[in-house]
Structures are given as C-alpha cells and as structure tokens.
Structure 1
Amino acid sequence: MSKAYFSAPRAGAAGLSPVHGDAGQSSGGASALAGLPRWDLSDLYDGPDSPQLATDLDQADEDAQAFARAWQGRLANVPGGELAQAIAEYQRIDEVLGRAGSYAQLLFAANTSDSDVARFAQSVNERLTAISTHLLFFTLEINRISDDGLSAQLSDPALAHWAPFLRDLRVFRPYQLSDEVEAVLHEKSVTGAAAWNRLFDETMASLRVRVGGEDTTLGNALDTMSSPDRTVREHAAHAIGDELGRNVKLFSLITNTLAKDKAIVDGLRHYPRPTSARNCANMVEDDVVDALVQAVTEAYPRLSHRYYALKAKWLGLEKLEYWDRNAPLTTQDEPLIPWTEATKQVMAAYEGFDPRMGTVAKQFFDHAWIDAPPVPGKASGAFAHPTVPSVHPYLLLNYRGRTRDVMTLAHELGHGVHQVLAGKQGYLMSSTPLTLAETASVFGEMLTFRALLDAQTDPARRRLMLAAKVEDMLNTVVRQIAFYRFEMLVHEERRRGELLPARIGEIWRQTQVESLGPAFNFTPDYDVYWTYIPHFIHSPFYVYAYAFGDCLVNALYGVFRSGHPGFQDKYLDMLKAGGTKRHRELLAPFGLDAADPGFWQKGLDVIAGFIDELERV
C-alpha cells in the first residue's frame, strides 16, 4: 500500500507514560463516567460482511489491474497533463484501499482480543497488499523519470498541482530498488513486519496483571502506578515487571526480528543509518533531528533532573523509585471529571482560540466519531485515525475521568481538526509528516491547559496543575528523546548480532538513568519495561516526532501569546496545507525556523520556565 493507513498512538497515552485511570474506581466514579460515546464505523462500512466492502475491493482490484495495463512503461514519455490524469486515477483507487484498510484497523483497535475481528483485519490487510501490488509500479516508475524530464512535464499547470506529491515521492529516489525487489518486499510484508506487529498487539491485549488481589489488564495496572498510595504503586510495579518478565523472551524475539528485518531492508536501500528512512518519511533533514536530540539531551539537567529532585523533596523522599515517577503530589483523590464537563472544557478552549476551529471540533461530539470507554479488549492509549478525506477521522480514547484524560481528549481532538482541515488537499497530499502531525494536537492541549490554568484561583491547585503539565511535557520531550536514544542503541547493536533480553534491559536502564537523573533509583525489575511500548514495534524512531512537535508548539505558542498579527488565520492556513508544504515554509509566516540552533531552545525554555515557577512556590 502506498500510504500508511494506520496511525500511531500519542506519547502520553499509549504506554509511553502511564495515564491516570479508574482501577478500583468506586460505583460513584463509574456513575460519573456513564454515557461515554462509542464510535459508529458505518460511515466507512456497515460491518465485516458488508456487501459494499466486498464490492469495493473487487472493483479496486479490477481498476488497479486496468490502471497497470494503461500506464505501466509510459510515464516518462507522456505529456504533463496526461501524467496528472494518471495521478488522479491512482489517488482514486488508493483511497478506496485506504477506506477498507481504515475500517479493518479501527474495528480491530476496538476489539483486539476478538479472534474473528483479528482474522478479518488480517484478511483485509492481505487483500489490500495483493491489490496494491498492481499499483506498485507507479511510484517506482515516476522516480525513474529524469529530473529534466519531470521538470518539463511540470510546466503543465495540471501536473503542477501534484508538485508536492512528486517532491515528497522523489525524496526516496536514491534508495529505490528494482521493481522486482520492491514487489517482493511489498508482498512479503504481510508475513513479515505486519505479522510480528499483530503478534505483539494480541499478546499485549492478553496480558493480565494481578493487582489488589484481582487480575486486570496491563493498561489498568499501569494506571495504578499513579495511585497516591506508595505501597499500591510499588506492588503494581513489581506485578507488571513480573508479567512482562514472563514474556520478555517473546518480546525480545519480536524486537530482534524486526530490527534485523529493518537492517536488511535499510542495507539493500543503502540508507546511511537506522533513522534515515524515518527522517525521509518525515521530510526532515538529519541535521535538524540531530540538533533537536542534542538540545534535549544537553537540557536533561535543567529539566528532568531538576524537576524530579523537586518532586522527591515534595514527596519527602531521599530517592524516587521508578514507580514514583507518576505519583500524584497530593494524597487527596482527584475528583472525576464527567465526559460532559471534559467536552465543555475542551470546546471552550478551542472556540476561545477561534470559532472556526470550534466549529470543526464540534462535529466530533455531534457525531459518533469518538470511542471513549476503557473496556476490555480495546487497544490501550489513544489515537486519531484520519481514515480518508471522503469520510472523516475517528478518535480512540480510554477516558477515565482524570485531568490528564481531558488533556488527552484535547490532544486527539487537535489531530482530528487538523485531519479534517487538511483533507481538502486530497488523499495523497493531506497527510503531514510525523514532525508536523503533532502540531495541532499539542497546540490544542496547550490551549486547554492555559484556559484551565488561567481560570484557577487556588494557589495549591495551580501548583498541582503546573507540576502535572511539567510532567506531561517531560514525558513528551525528555522521555521521548530517551526512547529515541534507546532505539538508536538497540538498532545499531543489532546490526552486529542478536541482543539477549538482559542486554536490551541494560540499554533501557542506561537511557533512563541518563534522562531521569540522580533523583531516581532503578531496581532490576524495571529493565523489562521497554517491552510494552508499542512505538518500538509499530513505528521505529517515531518517538522523536513528539519532542519535535512539543518544542515546535511551545515556540509557536510563544508567538501567539506575543500578539503576533493575524496568528489565527496563519495557523489555520498551516493546518489546511496538510502535506503540501515543508516545515520551513509552514513556520516562516510566524518568523520561526527549525533549522536555527536557537529554535529548540525556545521550546525547552518554556518547560524550564514552568519549573522555575514551581521552584519559587
């Protein structure tokens, strides 16, 4: 398939940092969270046995074969207008495949433990791979057109419309293999990486952890590590470690296999380093990513090290254990926030920024586009799936009524708004690179947080809100760069041979000690905690995009707060651009440049400023 149909979960919600939740929730709490919305996927298809789904796949198969007969071997020699017609037809067929793939993925996300749904999702994935094999020649052949030849074709205004698609496609030109090899890699993907991904997902969904005398899901157990009771946190932490430890050989096998598979493909394509493919996909230069990673790692002492030293003092501890990282700063139970109240808070922030953005956001609540309850068998965390422009995005949450869950709603809603606005660019040009995909989500989260903070008059509550925000930002920036460093070390070392579980654990502990600092003590059972992070399996090196997006938004929000003229119009135009512009073009109207060494410091200074304020309290 030429386009990624599946979206990865967000940093603070999908295992990268445990979210607050309702393990052991009282009946009153359950009542407060009654009526959480479930999504209705019938806007895509009526069900797995939908006649329309079968018809769409059959027609797409027929159209893809006809497309290949009509265009294969001709692309370099046709006028620009004819190539534009071919791209439009390619987009039409690909969007049909995207619709079917989106439906299968969303159905599976809500029912990961249902074997019938898993089998359906796998069968759809296999069918899509088979159909899209007929289309595979198209992008490969375009990349074989000479620069001069394509330039001549682009003189036709009809093809000039597709210039962003062609620009991004040709980023991969130096790494393209022969058609035969590309076809083999494409067809084998369903029995390669995709199969290992499925094994990981189904295994994770089946794990049960004994907490408080009851067996619970891994997600709920992780949530318990946010309990105000330190003994509860410790018992949950050890129980999680035990369960992950029992499965560590399997997770190590999955990780080693996928890392080796990636190394083989990277070697065939002559990518210079493990992250090169991701950087190309993100349309970001290696030196920009390197500058981000360097800026964040150098800032560890003034950010995470300093904050967690403060937290240890607030908790009255000489040392924090790893299960204290998400400990609340108050022993009082946080009141549960009903879904209706969460909706009001988030919508008020969005509408307060710009009514046009509020209008788009409101659609998600007016229609069944959100799946919110944390039910057994559902994928953990949260994500926004754009599906296809001819339908609409869907949001998956696991809403447990905490403040952080409200922030997660604001975050995923930002993705949804971005995806709706960018949908006007069409299926091939609506998706943004990962480095920009977090812009609207983090900005929406910041809008919501600032609105709630500004409305808070209680100094003690304000301090708690600031501390929670700092922790979320550290999870999004510092923790994600530490994850990136972990992946780099694992993938680089895997090229020299298979890594034993103990060695992967050593690398994990090394990167955690570096990033979290001397305030923490890490016991050996923490060495298996790398196993539950889905990004390492599904989307290698995805994680730095969270730090990229958070720092970018911090800088962007600073421009907004400074009263930059016409900010709202420029911001909405940026979202509407989808994937048609690169980060330099998008940030230029705000006077920002991610290639500027000082750019990342602007974002990190926002976090440091919050910590400064907490130190003064």
Structure 2
Amino acid sequence: MRFNFTSAFGPQTFDTRAFDARVHQADGGASAGDFGDLPEWDLSDLYTGMDAPEVKRDLDWLEGACVSFAEDFEGKLADLDGAGMYDCILRNERISQVAGRLGSFAGLLYYQNTVDGTRAKFFSDIQDKITSFTAPLVFFSLEVNRIPDDVIEDMLQDVDLARYRPIFERMRKMRPYQLSDELERYEHDMSVVGASAWNKLFDETVADLKFNVEGKELGLEAAATLMSDQNRATREASAREVANVLGKNIKTFTRVHNTLAKMGDIEDRWRGMPTPQTSRHLSNDVEPEVVEALRDAVVAAYPKLSHRYYELKRGWLGLDKLQVWDRNAPLPLEDDKAVQWDAARETVMEAYAGFHPRMAELAEPFFTKGWIDAGVKDGKAPGAFAHPTVTDAHPYVMLNYLGKQRDVMTLAHELGHGVHQVLAADQGELLSSTPLTLAETASVFGEMLTFQRMLSQAKTKEERKILLAGKVEDSINTLVRQIAFYDFECKLHEARKGGELTSETINGLWMSVQGESLGPAFEFMDGYETFWSYIPHFVHSPFYVYAYAFGDGLVNALYAAYLESPEGFEDKYFDMLKAGGSKHHSDLLAPFGLDAADPKFWDKGLSMISAMIDELEAMD
C-alpha cells in the first residue's frame, strides 16, 4: 500500500511488504486480547486530531509557501549561484516536511480503518489539497534539468549545496524522459483522479471483502492466515473460500489492473521510457542490468531452492502432491502455541541488543511511545509496514499481530525499517529516503539477527529443524515468490500493450509463473489462478516487489561478510544506515567488499539458503 504527497522533487511514498511475502500463521478468530496488551498508535506527535488547529495552520502555510517559492525561483534557477540554490533547496525541504507531516497523518489514520468514511474523506481531502498547493512547484525539476551540466557543477562547488549532489544527479537522470512544462503540470493536477483514485478503489474493495470459513465471517487478513493453520481441512477451506470470493470480485480487480497498466503504458510512451520497468529502476537508483542479474540468478536457482525445499516438505507432510494451502503449512511437529506480545518483543530486542546495544536503544521507543499499531481490527489495512513520516518526527510501524513465530519475524522486519529510518533522519527530508532496493536491507538484517538468535537457543534437533524450515520458507517467499511476482508484472504490462486483458488472460499469466517458481511438488486447485488480484503492490507500486529479493539477497551476502570479518562490522553497518539516500548502492556496499553488479554477489547470498536446505536434507 502507498499514499502520496508531492514536493518539488516528485511523489513521496510509503510501502508495505507485498502481502504474499509473508502470510501470518494464526487462528483467524483470535482476538487481540489473546496475545497480551497489543499497542496502538499515538499519532499526536504529528497532530492531535483531524480537527486540530495545527492542521489548518500547516495547510495555510503550505499554500502560501508554494506560491512564494514559485514567485521567487521560477524562471530564475539557471542564474542562481551555489548559495542561492542552497537557499532554494532549504525552502523546498521545508515544504516537503510540512506536506509530509500532513500526508503521513492522514494516511496513517486511513490505514488504521480504511472503511471509516470520515477518515477516508479526510485522507482524500488532504491529498487533494497537497496536490493543488504543490502544483506551482512542478517547474523545479524541469527547470533544473535544462541547466547546462557545467553550470550545475559550478553551483555544486558551494560547500553547503555539495551534500545535495545525489538529489541533482538522480533528478537529471530523468532528463531524457521529461515532458513539457504544461504536460507535467497537467499530470500533477490529474494525479488525484488517476492512479491514486484507482488505488483507493482497490483498497476499499479489499477491505470490504468478507470470507466465511467454517462458520466464521472474516476479513482477508484473517482468512488468509488460516491457509497456515495446523489443520489441513481448515487450510483447504480457507483457500477455497478466498478463491471463491476473489472470483466473485475478479471483474473489479481486472478493471483496476487494466486501467493502471494502460495508464502506465501511455505515460511511458509519452516520456519515451524504453520499458515499463524503467521508471521503477530510476526511482530505485539501480541499473537495469543489476536487477536483471538478480532476476536471472534467482530464476536459475529455483531448482536448488524452492523445488528442492518443497519436495522435502511434501515428504514431511506425507502427501503425494502439495496443494496451495500446504505451501505455508506448519510442520507436523511444530508447536501451534501462541507467542505472547511481550515474548515477541523480548525475543527481537535481545537479538538486536546482541548485535549492538545501540540497535536495541533505537528500537525501544517504538514499544514505549506509541509508535506501533499491532492488533488486527475491522477495516485495518492488511499486512505490515514501517512509515518514516518526516524527519522532525519519527517512524510508525503497523502490524497485524496474530501470535505466531512468523509474526515475531515480521516485528523484527518492520523494526529494522524503523531503526533505519530513525538513523537516516539526520540526512534531512530530501536525503533521508533510501531507494527501495536498499530500503529492505535493515529490515531483512533485523530478521536475520532474530532468526540466528532463536536458532542458537534451539534445545533439540526438532526445534532447529522448525526454525531452519521457517527461515527457508521466508527466504523463498521473499526471493523466489517476489521474483515470480516481478515476472508476472512484466508479462502483464507487456501483454496490456496489445489491448484490453480479460480476467482469463491475466489468470493465465499468473499461472505461467507459479509452476515454474514453486516446482513439481505442487498441483494447483481451481480458483488459485485469481490469487494475483489481492496483492497490493501490483496496484500501488508496480515492479516494487524485486526490492524484497534485492534486500534478502543483499543481506544474506552482508551477513556472510559479517561472519567472515566481524571486526568493525557494526560501525560500518550503522554508517550505511545513517547514509539514507545520500549514496549510491555501490558506495554503500564498498566498505564491505560487496558489489551488487557482480552476478557472483547474488550467488553468494543464494548459496546461504541452499546450505540451510542441505542441513534440512541431512536431518531426514
């Protein structure tokens, strides 16, 4: 999921993990009280309420600041010296901060309850006003990109402006794809009734879905968790009901995907983007060949990763074939006892402190100051995310905690994001945001620390086996599944260029990547072909999903480097997180001796998962 607000530097976003990346294991009928006292957000650090006078104050300020910014700088950027451009950047940064605070507050309120009409209206109204107020700023990147290189270079000799070099470099990568000033302004103004409106339709449709499983009426989050229940009949019932409800709504989902893919195609053609993925690669500040190397390495590894693991799991479960409701099934010897919230907190905090006390110190306020919203509630958005808000506030974490080991890992993941966002905040509003490829580094590293601590404390062979299997499944969900999702998106957007896609066509594209990625241990029930329809990233953040695979593969390689050379690693790791978006991924990885452009880099990370499967095979 994502919400947008716009500054002179373009849309600012937050994203959740792709919902299918981790299906929570839990009893869909469980209540928040079953797991202890689950925390809720205290959003008063942003605003005390929708009617708080500070909301109007900041909206009024934003409107005036955007007008005066355009009056002072439009048509004059090329004539500025370094000091003048630095003043311009500082004013823009303040605009981004105020817009970000407003947009964050409205979005967080909305995602707490997406079916609340008052919240939905407030969120929509705030988005509309921010879009309208910031329209005068559209000139900025267009005008910067018309300034000759030597003039920009002269400006960047100013010592204060020099730290913003990455902003200018990323902005100027868009030069070949820039439209006229008039068209850019038109697109800006139309954004609230374009992709944003279709995103809301998707969110509201998903939030309103009801699933009847074994006599209980459930939302999507709770229904999907039952596909990980200990009882196979319950897993099958939930999978068939999810397929049934998605099938009844497939026309709406098909319309959403057709429209957004066509909108993307039109914009790409007008901008001259060579591929539908180009804009994502540019926003991620990553080269297409690096993504292609990652994709190819993971696809080549399907047989030794997912195919091999699921064949093991098929044997453990005593089945001739795995069905889709067995993919995330617990092992027969797995304890189904709920993990209390306090125990989850203690596990993650001990793992963080075991790496470095500073990491636990940074995570502590999330638990003590209302920075986490953990419970499952009617209307709450599914999945989990960490949203950085703005650099003069703090991040917020959303979970749907259902008391299972994988929920503990989700907590570790999102807290990793939170720690990263806190550390990067010192870079300021425009440089704190990390490209999505590296944005998953701290989160996956937090999971790895938690997993390794739990593994070291395993008392029996069975406990170790369960932990290893869980980690392998999470890695498959994050690497194999997300690359398969990426391939599905590539196929969908390419097919849409040829005309309107029927539901059956999209279903076929989905199934074309499922057997390839999951392997021969599976057969697929009727109805599974519609499961593409509820994955939010396809709607909100096209092609985002490879960032998860990037992060997982990177962290596996990073953790291997940690084990090989632990001396001084912690300081280099914290320096990497503090850098935020101020450095390219090649510069951030260089101190660790790693290079994402080297295909062998990805093989190193994948071999770590393969070694875990080796150990599992040896246990049989």
Q: TM-score, normalised by structure 2?
A: 0.97
Q: Which residue, out of 6, 9, 12, partners 2:16?
A: 9
Equivalent position amino acid for 2:291 in 1:
V
Equivalent position amino acid for 1:320 in 2:
L
CA–CA distance in structure 2, aligned partners of residues 412 and 498 of structure 1: 38
How far did residue 32 of structure 1 move?
4.2
How far did residue 154 of structure 1 move?
1.2
Instruction: Show the counterpart of 2:318.
Output: 316
CA–CA distance in structure 2, aligned partners of residues 319 and 252 of structure 1: 30
SS at match of 1:39: coil
Contact 2:316 2:332 in 1 (8 A): no
Aligned Cα root-mean-square deviation (Å): 1.1
Superposed CA deviations along residues 537-592 of structure 1, whole A, max 9, x for unmatched, are: 00000000000000000000001111342100000000000000011000000000
Equivalent position amino acid for 1:537 in 2:
V
SS at match of 2:320: coil
Q: Which residue, out of 108, 111, 116, partners 1:109?
A: 111
Instruction: Show the counterpart of 2:26.
Output: 21
Equivalent position amino acid for 2:68 in 1:
A
Contact 2:29 2:216 in 1 (8 A): no
Instruction: Show the counterpart of 2:133.
Output: 131
Q: Which runs of 4+ in 1 moved over 2 A?
A: 2-6, 14-17, 29-32
CA–CA distance in structure 2, aligned partners of residues 135 and 614 of structure 1: 56
SS at match of 1:64: helix
Equivalent position amino acid for 2:161 in 1:
L
Distance 1:250 1:31, change over 3 A: closer
Q: Where do residues 146-295 of structure 1 align in structure 2 (5 Å cutoff)?
A: 146-295=148-297
How far did residue 332 of structure 1 move?
5.6
CA–CA distance in structure 1, aligned partners of residues 232 and 83 of structure 2: 67
SS at match of 2:212: strand
Instruction: Show the counterpart of 2:450.
Output: 448
How many residue pairs are counted as aligned between the two chains?
612
Q: Which residue, out of 347, 350, 358, partners 1:348?
A: 350
Which deviates further from its counterpart, 433-442 or 357-366? Answer: 357-366
Distance 1:129 1:438, change over 3 A: same
Instruction: Show the counterpart of 1:370.
Output: 372
Instruction: Show the counterpart of 1:88.
Output: 90
Q: Which residue, out of 565, 570, 586, partners 2:567?
A: 565
Contact 1:305 1:517 in 2 (8 A): yes
CA–CA distance in structure 2, aligned partners of residues 373 and 202 of structure 1: 20
Instruction: Tell me, yes or no, if structure 1 residue 407 matches structure 2 residue 412.
Output: no
Instruction: Show the counterpart of 1:594.
Output: 596
CA–CA distance in structure 2, aligned partners of residues 299 and 522 of structure 1: 22
CA–CA distance in structure 2, aligned partners of residues 31 and 529 of structure 1: 31
How far did residue 20 of structure 1 move?
1.2
How far did residue 596 of structure 1 move?
0.9
CA–CA distance in structure 2, aligned partners of residues 148 and 332 of structure 1: 64
Superposed CA deviations along residues 319-368 of structure 1, whole A, max 9, x for unmatched, are: 11111111111266521111111111111111110111111111211211
How far did residue 164 of structure 1 move?
1.5
CA–CA distance in structure 1, aligned partners of residues 367 and 217 of structure 2: 34
CA–CA distance in structure 2, aligned partners of residues 415 and 186 of structure 1: 29
Contact 1:32 1:337 in 2 (8 A): no
How far did residue 77 of structure 1 move?
1.1
SS at match of 1:430: coil
CA–CA distance in structure 2, aligned partners of residues 552 and 344 of structure 1: 27
SS at match of 2:586: helix
Q: Which residue, out of 32, 50, 53, partners 1:51?
A: 53
Q: Which residue, out of 417, 427, 430, partners 2:429?
A: 427
SS at match of 1:108: helix
How far did residue 296 of structure 1 move?
0.4
Instruction: Show the counterpart of 2:3.
Output: none
How far did residue 161 of structure 1 move?
2.1
How far did residue 30 of structure 1 move?
5.7
SS at match of 1:38: coil
How far did residue 236 of structure 1 move?
1.0
CA–CA distance in structure 1, aligned partners of residues 96 and 226 of structure 2: 43
Instruction: Show the counterpart of 1:545.
Output: 547
CA–CA distance in structure 2, aligned partners of residues 162 and 563 of structure 1: 33
Equivalent position amino acid for 1:21 in 2:
A
Q: Which runs of 5+ in 2 are unaligned?
A: 1-5
SS at match of 1:215: strand
CA–CA distance in structure 2, aligned partners of residues 563 and 273 of structure 1: 40
Superposed CA deviations along residues 23-46 of structure 1, whole A, max 9, x for unmatched, are: 234xxx865413100011010011
Contact 1:556 1:590 in 2 (8 A): yes
CA–CA distance in structure 1, aligned partners of residues 32 and 289 of structure 2: 49
Q: Which runs of 5+ in 1 are unaligned?
A: none
SS at match of 1:240: helix
Contact 2:333 2:462 in 1 (8 A): no
CA–CA distance in structure 1, aligned partners of residues 115 and 13 of structure 2: 18
Distance 1:32 1:207, change over 3 A: closer
CA–CA distance in structure 2, aligned partners of residues 128 and 352 of structure 1: 43
Equivalent position amino acid for 1:240 in 2:
V
CA–CA distance in structure 2, aligned partners of residues 337 and 4 of structure 1: 39
CA–CA distance in structure 1, aligned partners of residues 244 and 274 of structure 2: 38
Q: What is the percent sequence identity of the aligned residues?
A: 52
Equivalent position amino acid for 1:405 in 2:
D
CA–CA distance in structure 2, aligned partners of residues 333 and 157 of structure 1: 59
CA–CA distance in structure 2, aligned partners of residues 225 and 361 of structure 1: 31
Contact 1:6 1:105 in 2 (8 A): no
Equivalent position amino acid for 2:570 in 1:
Q
How far did residue 17 of structure 1 move?
3.8
Contact 2:26 2:229 in 1 (8 A): no
Contact 2:21 2:474 in 1 (8 A): no
Contact 1:15 1:380 in 2 (8 A): no
Contact 1:16 1:533 in 2 (8 A): no
Instruction: Show the counterpart of 2:581.
Output: 579
CA–CA distance in structure 1, aligned partners of residues 224 and 283 of structure 2: 32
